[in-house]
């Protein structure tokens, strides 16, 4: 197993950037991740831990590809983010538009996307889509529509509700596909152009984007071996529906390296500002009020959600037993996750390639084990209890 030393991100125990962090315990957390890769729970992993001020440690383990030939994984590799796209791209872009007065949360989506306004959906709002309470189905196999000669996007927008808006929290890819189209209509440009201009460029996330090509594709981590799509997917979106939608969608399609996601997490820990004036005009991309709203409970019950973000308790909560009640998270099917904890002042990025070479080679339980043990070991490195919620 090849391990790449994080020379650019040394562990910084007991410094202003890392108050109360036990450096030895943090090293043990990364050693545990290395052991999980060696045990074959995932083929490879890149992880980083940090605060609003700095990344404390970043390290890569294992392989970017096992087949058709082995390729070592390094910390700069780009991962298919899968559903982290919902947070990094779609949710953040929507919040930018919200702050500019270009939409409001309880505005009907059909007011800007008439094709969505079929019978029963006229009352579905942006808040409903962001909180997965729209009443839309969780998923739809667009391959069937394409095989029948239908336009896949039209099929999504025409999908009827399964339940009244607001009646239940049901995680829905269709809702975020719809959000992506609505934002494109509001912004007057394709979704990938808007995300680049409004989110990625201001945050200097230069390695992140849709549809990687050339050298960028060569830096991508392999996902699944799908003979029906030409073999091992590398730099091509894994999600079938995102692929049928051209690789650019509100629910999936984004690729990113770990370092870019660290900047994204630092933005949120900084309540919308990156330190050093490098997060857009004046260092700020979002207002503190927007960050607090997006990370506060919008749904209640046993499946709590903010705007896009997953809160505790929730069946989709990233395993982490030691974080504070203020923490929020999101995961991606390919094995990616973000965990941000304002109470502890800490974030963790964990990128794995759990669907390579096939989604059957590792159960979802194995990926949860990797995440849960890593997060607990990281938060256990804090020298003081996390702040109360």
The confidence score (pLDDT) of residue 17 equals 59
The confidence score (pLDDT) of residue 120 equals 87
The confidence score (pLDDT) of residue 361 equals 62
CA diameter of the chain: 61
pLDDT greater than 70 at residue 199: yes
Who's near 117: CB < 8 A, 6+ residues apart? 108, 109, 110
- When pLDDT is cut at 50, 70 and 90, the band that residue 1 belongs to is very low
pLDDT greater than 70 at residue 42: yes
Q: What is the pTM of this model?
A: 0.93
- The residue among 105, 97, 56 whose CA lies nearest residue 195 is 97
Mean pLDDT along residues 237-241: 98
3-state secondary structure of 336: strand
* pLDDT cut 90: percent of the chain above it: 85
* Run of H or E including 338: strand 336-341
Mean pLDDT along residues 222-240: 97
Which domains does the chain possess? 3-78+254-379 (3.40.710.10)
The confidence score (pLDDT) of residue 280 equals 46
Cβ 238 vs Cβ 227: under 8 Å? no
pLDDT greater than 50 at residue 387: no
pLDDT greater than 70 at residue 260: yes
Give the residue with greater pLDDT, 194 vs 23.
194
- Chain segment 88-129, per-residue pLDDT in tens: 999 999 999 999 999 999 999 999 999 999 888 999 999 999
Q: Which two tokens stand for residue 239?
A: 């999600």
pLDDT greater than 80 at residue 370: yes
Q: Residue 262 and residue 347: Cα distance in Å, rounded?
A: 8
Q: Residue 337 and residue 23: Cα distance in Å, rounded?
A: 23
Mean pLDDT along residues 50-72: 95
Q: What is the DSSP string of 240-307?
A: HHHHHTTS--SSS-EEEEHHHHHHHHHHHHTTTB-GGG-SSGGGBSS-HHHHHHHTS-SS-TTS-B-S
pLDDT greater than 60 at residue 4: no
Q: Residue 301 and residue 182: Cα distance in Å, rounded?
A: 28
The confidence score (pLDDT) of residue 386 equals 43
Altogether, the residues listed in the chain come to a count of: 389
- Chain segment 15-30, per-residue pLDDT in tens: 555 668 888 899 999 9
pLDDT greater than 80 at residue 41: yes
The confidence score (pLDDT) of residue 269 equals 96
Name 142's bridge partners: none
Cα–Cα distance list, 281 to 90, 287, 297 (Å) = 21, 12, 29
- When pLDDT is cut at 50, 70 and 90, the band that residue 359 belongs to is confident
- Chain segment 293-320, per-residue pLDDT in tens: 999 999 999 999 999 999 999 999 999 9
Q: Residue 233 and residue 112: Cα distance in Å, rounded?
A: 35
* Mean of pLDDT over the chain: 91
Provide φ and ψ at 142, rounded to 5°. -70, -15
Q: Residue 48 and residue 32: Cα distance in Å, rounded?
A: 14
The confidence score (pLDDT) of residue 366 equals 85
Cβ 221 vs Cβ 356: under 8 Å? yes
Mean pLDDT along residues 327-353: 97
- When pLDDT is cut at 50, 70 and 90, the band that residue 388 belongs to is very low
The confidence score (pLDDT) of residue 10 equals 55
Lowest mean pLDDT segment, chosen from 79-83, 115-119, 315-319, 338-342: 115-119
């Amino acid at each position: 197993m090849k391990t790449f030393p994080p020379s650019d991100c040394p562990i910084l125990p007991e410094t202003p950037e890392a108050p109360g962090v036990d450096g030895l315990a943090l090293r043990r957390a990364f050693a545990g991740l290395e052991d999980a890769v060696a045990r074959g729970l995932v083929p490879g992993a890149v992880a980083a831990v940090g605060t609003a001020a700095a990344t404390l440690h970043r390290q890569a383990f294992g392989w970017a590809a096992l087949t058709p030939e082995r390729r070592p994984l390094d910390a700069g590799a780009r991962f298919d983010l899968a559903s982290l796209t919902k947070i990094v791209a779609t949710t953040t872009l929507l919040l930018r538009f919200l702050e500019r007065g270009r939409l409001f949360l309880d505005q009907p989506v059909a007011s800007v996307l008439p094709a969505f306004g079929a019978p029963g959906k006229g009352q579905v709002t942006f808040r409903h889509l962001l909180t997965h309470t729209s009443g839309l189905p969780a998923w739809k196999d667009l391959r069937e529509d394409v095989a029948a000669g239908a336009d896949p996007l039209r099929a999504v927008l025409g999908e009827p509700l399964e339940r009244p808006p607001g009646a239940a929290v049901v995680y829905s890819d269709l809702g975020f596909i719809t959000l992506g189209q609505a934002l494109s209509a509001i912004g007057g440009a394709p979704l990938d152009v808007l995300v680049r201009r409004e989110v990625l460029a201001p945050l200097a996330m230069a390695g992140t984007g849709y549809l990687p090509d050339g050298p960028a594709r060569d830096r991508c981590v392999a996902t699944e071996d799908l003979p029906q799509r030409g073999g091992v997917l590398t730099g091509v979106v894994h999600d079938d529906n995102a692929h049928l939608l051209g690789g650019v969608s509100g629910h999936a399609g984004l690729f990113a390296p770990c370092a870019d996601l660290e900047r994204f997490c630092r933005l949120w820990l900084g309540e919308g500002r990156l330190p050093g004036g490098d997060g857009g005009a004046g260092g700020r991309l979002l207002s503190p009020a927007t960050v607090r709203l997006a990370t506060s409970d919008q749904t209640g019950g046993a499946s709590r959600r903010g705007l896009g973000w997953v809160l505790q308790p929730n069946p989709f909560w990233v395993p982490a037993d030691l974080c504070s009640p203020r923490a929020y998270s999101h995961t991606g099917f390919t094995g990616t996750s973000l965990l941000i904890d304002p109470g502890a002042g800490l974030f963790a990025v964990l990128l794995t390639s759990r669907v390579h070479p096939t989604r059957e080679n590792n159960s979802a339980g194995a990926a949860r084990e990797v995440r849960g043990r890593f997060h607990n070991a990281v938060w256990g490195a804090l020298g003081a209890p996390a702040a109360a919620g």
